[in-house]
């Protein structure tokens, strides 16, 4: 017994030493204030003015200042750790995050199966400087997610286009669950609308699916993952049955409880604070982060903003918590430079369209499509160059040769992983030639969060549950997808391993090893037989599908990845 007590004491001491050594934290006195007018511009340069500008644009928005009592340089130092083993912060291995985005200590070293680089100090400063996100596009990463007072008019406005959810019983369930678990009511509604739309999914109908799981509901799609529509729905309904969610109201209550635990009610009650742990109220400092991807708060905040915009609720009464630091730099931290050959801005009134096949023109920045497009390599004139983002990108007013004017997106949205400049200056002929070379589809790898297209090897790799429509969003509406029998596949159907696109590309769906378009126990069995050398996987496209973590080796780690997705624990990523 005595030895056991001594052992426990030693372990406690070692754990305390670990956190003291690896995380330099000191006693801090953090406070939150709603007094915007008296923000000290000497210690918090430009913060007050930027918030005041946002208030002019959105008079119902409210702001709180989190005075972290942390030194800016010390924060960056504590975030800039883990080199060579497990960096605290990562950026995607993408042309959008090259050059100064990458940590010079780790250099070209990649992490997590080659998908990530260690983030540089410049990248950290840019993403952590709150002033870079004090705009209408990026502000929602600071949205307060804990419960605040609500207006029934706001709720009704958010739900007015959604007849399924706009009834007294469901609204009361949302309000009561939000109060009970201390979660922002509007955030809960936005999540529900994002997950379920107007309630057409079998997950909220109560009618079951394929004669199974009748009478259960899963409003937040918890555990609803897998390969193919059937698996997604059945897994979600199985989770609902396990949780005994036998009504919409019970599912709302259980779902809100699920999303409240872990971070929202542990002090990290914004998406920014869930990534950058600078709130000391419960979990200490720095180490309790939700993910390593430094783009995550901005990306997730953008999704929430889009949900509010789609609901027509962007100007409702939201509260944002803005963190500020001691000794913040006088000037806003600048965006890290990309590769020196990267074209990053327009320097001429004449520009060429670099979007394949076209860019839509809008009636205002991020406005309505006017029925006109500019096409790949078409030259147009920039009448007005945007200086601020709207909806996540810059919208320049352009004029076509036929006199038609409209707003076009200058570049990809900031939350997109792969950067591309859509309006390229033709002032410099060398830049023009470089851009044409970059568009050579024999050399380019195109990808988004679902699909990767290698034009050189004519290989398409996708995550489970992608459809023909998903492919068309990248390759264009004119493509034809055929199954292994040569039959054309319709837009709403899932693609499968072995399918062909335009008789040129061959598809590998991660996890769909047997090529039936689904990911289930049958695929696990194929991999197990390969590992046991009972029956080897000889087809190259099926090998790609079996290598789910994309490390070039088929092993037990790939089995685990599939199992986790089937159980709803995590999702397979491209």
- Determine the average pLDDT of the residues in 166-184: 95
- Determine the average pLDDT of the residues in 142-159: 86
Can you say whether the dihedral through the CA atoms of 48, 51, 55, 57 is positive or negative?
positive
Q: What is the dihedral of CA 379, 383, 386, 392, to 10 degrees?
A: -50
Distance CA 188, CA 400 (A): 44
Average pLDDT of the chain?
83
Region of residue 492 (phi > 0: left; psi between -120 and 50: alpha; otherwise: beta): alpha
- Please list, in sequence order, all residues whose beta carbon lies within 8 angstroms of the beta carbon of residue 543, skipping any fewer than 6 positions away: 537, 554
Nearest to 281, CA basis, from 269, 271, 290:
269
Distance CA 207, CA 216 (A): 8
Give the pLDDT band of residue 6 (cuts 50, 70, 90): very low
Q: Are 359 and 393 in contact (CB under 8 A)?
A: no
Give the pLDDT band of residue 164 (cuts 50, 70, 90): very high
Distance CA 553, CA 547 (A): 6
- Give the distance from CA 214 to its chain's centroid: 33
Residue by residue, DSSP assigns 88-119 as: S-EEESSGGG-GGGB-TTTTT-EETTTTEEEB
What are φ and ψ of residue 136, in 5° steps?
A: -60, -25
pLDDT tens-digit profile of 461-495?
999 999 998 888 777 777 889 998 888 898 889 99
Give the pLDDT band of residue 28 (cuts 50, 70, 90): low
Residue, of 193 and 304, whose pLDDT is higher: 193
- Determine the average pLDDT of the residues in 27-52: 89
Distance CA 128, CA 123 (A): 8
pLDDT at 263 over 80: no
- Give the distance from CA 406 to its chain's centroid: 29
Give the pLDDT band of residue 157 (cuts 50, 70, 90): confident
pLDDT at 130 over 80: yes
Query: How many angstroms separate the Cα of 559 from the Cα of each of 289, 518, 567, 571, 574?
Result: 27, 15, 12, 13, 16
> Using DSSP, how many helices (H) and how many strands (E) does the chain show?
16, 19
pLDDT at 23 over 60: no
31's tokens: 């406070």
Give the pLDDT band of residue 401 (cuts 50, 70, 90): low
- The class level of CATH for 445-566 reads mainly alpha
Nearest to 188, CA basis, from 75, 307, 278:
307
pLDDT at 256 over 80: yes
pLDDT at 149 over 90: no
The DSSP secondary-structure symbol of 392 reads: T
Q: Residue 274, SS3? A: helix
pLDDT tens-digit profile of 520-532?
989 999 999 988 8
434's tokens: 């470089």
Provide the percentage of residues in the chain whose pLDDT is more than 70.
87
What pLDDT shows up at residue 283? 58
Lowest mean pLDDT, pick from 7-21, 81-95, 130-144, 524-538:
7-21
Helices 168-181 and 152-159 pack at an angle, to 10 degrees, of: 120
Q: What would the CATH number be for the domain defined by 350-438?
A: 2.30.30.40
pLDDT at 262 over 70: no
Distance CA 239, CA 236 (A): 5
Residue by residue, DSSP assigns 7-48 as: HHHHHHHHHHHHHHHHS-------EEE---TT--TTTSTTHH
Distance CA 93, CA 278 (A): 26
| Sequence spans of domains, the chain | 29-144+270-341, 350-438, 445-566
Give the pLDDT band of residue 206 (cuts 50, 70, 90): very high
- Please list, in sequence order, all residues whose beta carbon lies within 8 angstroms of the beta carbon of residue 402, skipping any fewer than 6 positions away: none
pLDDT at 431 over 70: no
pLDDT tens-digit profile of 345-392?
444 577 888 887 788 899 999 998 888 888 877 777 888 988 888 888
The DSSP secondary-structure symbol of 230 reads: H
Beta bridge partners of 102: 119
- Determine the average pLDDT of the residues in 131-145: 93
* Helix extents (H) in 392-442: 429-438
Q: Is 27 exposed, middle or buried (0-12, 13-18, 19+ CB in 10 A)?
A: exposed
The DSSP secondary-structure symbol of 503 reads: T
Describe the chain by its helix, strand, coil percentages, rounded to 5: 35, 15, 50
Beta bridge partners of 49: none
261's tokens: 């635990």
Distance CA 558, CA 526 (A): 12
What are φ and ψ of residue 141, in 5° steps?
A: -70, -15
Residue by residue, DSSP assigns 138-203 as: TGGGGB--S-----HHHHHHHHTT-TTT-SHHHHHHHHHHHHHHT--HHHHHHHHHHHHTTT-SGG
Nearest to 395, CA basis, from 59, 137, 161, 82:
137
What pLDDT shows up at residue 502? 83
Q: Determine how many CB atoms are found less than 10 A away from the CB of residue 137.
A: 20
Indicate the pairing of strand 481-482 with strand 395-399.
unpaired
Q: Are 99 and 337 in contact (CB under 8 A)?
A: yes
Can you say whether the dihedral through the CA atoms of 536, 453, 291, 175 is positive or negative?
negative
What predicted TM-score, i.e. pTM, was given to this entire model?
Answer: 0.49
What pLDDT shows up at residue 180? 96
Beta bridge partners of 445: 454
- Determine the average pLDDT of the residues in 153-179: 91
Give the pLDDT band of residue 557 (cuts 50, 70, 90): confident
What pLDDT shows up at residue 339? 63
Q: What is the dihedral of CA 334, 339, 345, 346, to 10 degrees?
A: 160
Give the pLDDT band of residue 568 (cuts 50, 70, 90): confident
- Determine the average pLDDT of the residues in 410-438: 64
Distance CA 6, CA 24 (A): 27
Nearest to 93, CA basis, from 574, 440, 544:
574
Residue by residue, DSSP assigns 439-493 as: T-TTT-EEE-SSEEEETTTTEEEE-TT-BHHHHHHHH-TT--EE-TTSPBPPTTS
- Please list, in sequence order, all residues whose beta carbon lies within 8 angstroms of the beta carbon of residue 255, skipping any fewer than 6 positions away: 177, 218, 219, 220, 222
pLDDT tens-digit profile of 73-118?
889 988 888 777 678 899 998 887 889 999 888 888 888 657 789 9
């Amino acid at each position: 017994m005595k030895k056991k007590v001594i052992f426990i004491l030693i372990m406690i001491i070692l754990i305390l030493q670990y956190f003291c050594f690896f995380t330099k934290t000191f006693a801090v006195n953090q406070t939150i204030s709603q007094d915007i007018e008296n923000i000290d511009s000497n210690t918090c340069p430009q913060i007050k003015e930027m918030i005041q500008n946002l208030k002019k644009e959105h008079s119902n928005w409210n702001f709180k200042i989190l005075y972290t009592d942390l030194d800016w340089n010390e924060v960056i130092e504590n975030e800039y750790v883990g080199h060579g083993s497990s960096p605290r912060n990562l950026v995607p291995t993408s042309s959008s995050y090259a050059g100064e985005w990458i940590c010079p200590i780790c250099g070209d070293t990649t992490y997590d199966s080659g998908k990530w680089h260690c983030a540089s100090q410049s990248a950290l400063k840019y993403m952590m400087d709150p002033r870079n996100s004090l705009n209408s596009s990026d502000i929602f990463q600071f949205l307060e997610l804990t419960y605040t007072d609500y207006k029934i008019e706001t709720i009704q406005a958010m739900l007015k286009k959604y007849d399924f959810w706009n009834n007294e019983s469901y609204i009361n369930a949302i309000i009561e669950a939000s109060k009970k678990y201390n979660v922002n009511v509007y955030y809960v509604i936005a999540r529900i609308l994002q997950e379920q739309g107007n309630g057409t999914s079998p997950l909220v109908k109560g009618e079951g699916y394929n004669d199974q799981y009748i009478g259960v509901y899963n409003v937040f799609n918890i555990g609803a993952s897998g390969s193919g529509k059937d698996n997604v729905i059945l897994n979600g309904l199985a989770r609902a049955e396990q949780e005994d969610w036998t009504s919409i109201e019970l599912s709302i209550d259980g779902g809100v409880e699920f999303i409240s635990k872990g971070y929202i009610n542990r002090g990290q009650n914004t998406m920014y604070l869930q990534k950058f742990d600078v709130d000391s109220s419960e979990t200490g400092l720095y180490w309790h982060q939700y993910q390593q991807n430094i783009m995550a708060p901005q990306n997730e905040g953008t999704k929430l903003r889009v949900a509010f915009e789609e609901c027509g609720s962007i100007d409702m009464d939201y509260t944002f918590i803005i963190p500020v630091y001691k000794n913040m730099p006088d000037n806003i931290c600048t965006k890290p430079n990309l590769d020196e050959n990267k074209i990053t801005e327009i320097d001429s009134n004449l520009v060429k369209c670099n979007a394949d096949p076209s860019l839509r023109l809008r009636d205002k920045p991020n406005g309505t499509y006017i029925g006109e497009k500019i096409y790949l390599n078409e030259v147009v004139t920039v009448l007005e160059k945007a200086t601020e983002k709207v909806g996540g990108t810059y919208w320049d007013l352009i004029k076509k040769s036929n006199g038609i004017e409209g707003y076009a997106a200058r570049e990809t949205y900031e939350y997109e992983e792969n950067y591309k400049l859509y309006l390229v200056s033709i002032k410099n002929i060398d830049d023009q030639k470089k851009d044409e070379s970059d568009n050579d589809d024999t050399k380019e790898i195109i990808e988004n969060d679902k699909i990767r297209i290698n034009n050189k090897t004519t290989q398409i790799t996708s995550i489970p549950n992608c459809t023909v429509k998903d492919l068309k969003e990248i390759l264009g509406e004119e493509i034809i997808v055929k199954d292994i029998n040569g039959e054309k596949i319709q837009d709403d159907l899932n693609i499968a391993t072995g399918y062909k696109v335009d008789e040129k590309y061959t598809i590998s769906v991660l996890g769909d090893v047997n090529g039936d378009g689904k990911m289930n126990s049958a695929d696990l069995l194929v991999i197990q037989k390969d590992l046991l050398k009972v029956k080897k996987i000889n087809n190259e496209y099926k090998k790609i599908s079996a290598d789910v973590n994309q490390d070039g080796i088929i092993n037990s780690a790939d089995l685990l990845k599939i199992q986790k997705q089937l159980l709803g624990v995590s999702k397979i990523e491209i």
